[in-house]
Amino acid sequence: MATYDHEEHERIDNVKTWWDKFGTMVTIVLTTLLVTIGGMQAWQYYQQKQIQQAADLFALLQQVQATNDLTKINDAAHLLKEGFPASGYAPRAALIAAHAGIQAGDRKIAKQNLQWILDNAKEPEMLDLARLRLAGILLDEEKYEDALRQLNSKHGEVYAGLYSDRKGDIYAASGKITEAQLAYQEAIEKLNKNNNYFNIVQMKLDALGEAQ
């Protein structure tokens, strides 16, 4: 029994010695770990709240969109862009506002929203679509070189046919018939033949040939 007590006391003394040497470090590490875990949970909660709030605002924007009231649509999109710029909802809100601007004949609002997408969006598809639509507005404004610069940016293959088609429109409008024909031909080669738009581009190409 005495031997057992001696061994027990020796173990306790060893533990005390170890704790005196490393106890402060262990406390700091454990405290840091607990704070980190708590911080991660708080950050995750914050992110979830942000996502939910952005989703709620986007749902509101979709309701406002049905009114065709450009001011209300643009204001709702502005709230998303300012409050939740990093969310996936923000560039989509800007796209809705840009479309509303085009429909209402307000190119300024449309261009502002499309430019916001180009400056802030991270998704390549959103950037491609914004450039395509911005090029269309610049075409209407007869700013042909600016429109072509948008289309000459790197873009995904899924938009290749539409980009070439829009180039054809720009060349045709600026009187560059040969370039327009080449662009339309390129669009035809890249578009799916089962797509109805394929026939529209073919008609544009045929019309240029007949005009010559």
Q: How far is CA 19 from CA 5, 9, 102, 103, 201, in A?
A: 21, 15, 72, 74, 80
pLDDT score, position 43: 46
Q: What is the pLDDT of residue 34?
A: 58
Which range among 6-10, 108-112, 150-154 shows the weakest confidence by mean pLDDT?
Answer: 6-10
Q: What is d(CA 23, CA 27) in angstroms, rounded to the nearest whole number?
A: 6
Between 181 and 10, residue with greater pLDDT: 181
Q: Reduce the DSSP state of residue 136 to 3 states and report it.
A: helix
Average pLDDT score, the chain: 85
pTM for this one? 0.76
Mean pLDDT value across residues 162-169: 97
**pLDDT tens, position by position, 20-69:** 665 576 566 556 655 666 656 654 654 566 678 888 888 989 999 999 99
Q: With 50 as the cut, is the pLDDT of residue 122 above it?
A: yes
Report how far Cα 100 is from the mean position of its chain's Cα atoms: 19
Q: Residue 161 in contact with residue 132, Cβ under 8 Å?
A: no
H-only helix segments in the chain: 2-65, 70-83, 89-103, 107-120, 124-140, 144-151, 160-173, 177-190, 196-211
Range of weakest confidence among 30-39, 98-107, 114-123:
30-39
Nearest by Cα to 128 from 161, 103, 98, 163: 163
For residues 204 and 177, is the Cβ–Cβ distance under 8 A?
Answer: no
pLDDT band at 10; cut points 50, 70, 90: low
Q: What is the average per-residue pLDDT within 4-9? A: 56
Look at 77 and 1; give whichever has higher pLDDT: 77
135/146 Cα distance (integer angstroms): 8
State in Å, rounded, how far the first CA of the chain is from the last one.
114
Q: What is residue 44's predicted lDDT score, i.e. its pLDDT?
A: 63
| Residue-level pLDDT at 35 | 61
- Mean pLDDT (whole number) for 190-205: 91
Region 160-176: mean pLDDT is 97
115-143 mean pLDDT: 97
Query: Which pLDDT does position 209 carry in this prediction?
Result: 78
Write a three-state SS string for 31-67: HHHHHHHHHHHHHHHHHHHHHHHHHHHHHHHHHHHCC
Task: Give the pLDDT mean for 173-183.
Answer: 96
Share of the chain above pLDDT 90, in %: 64
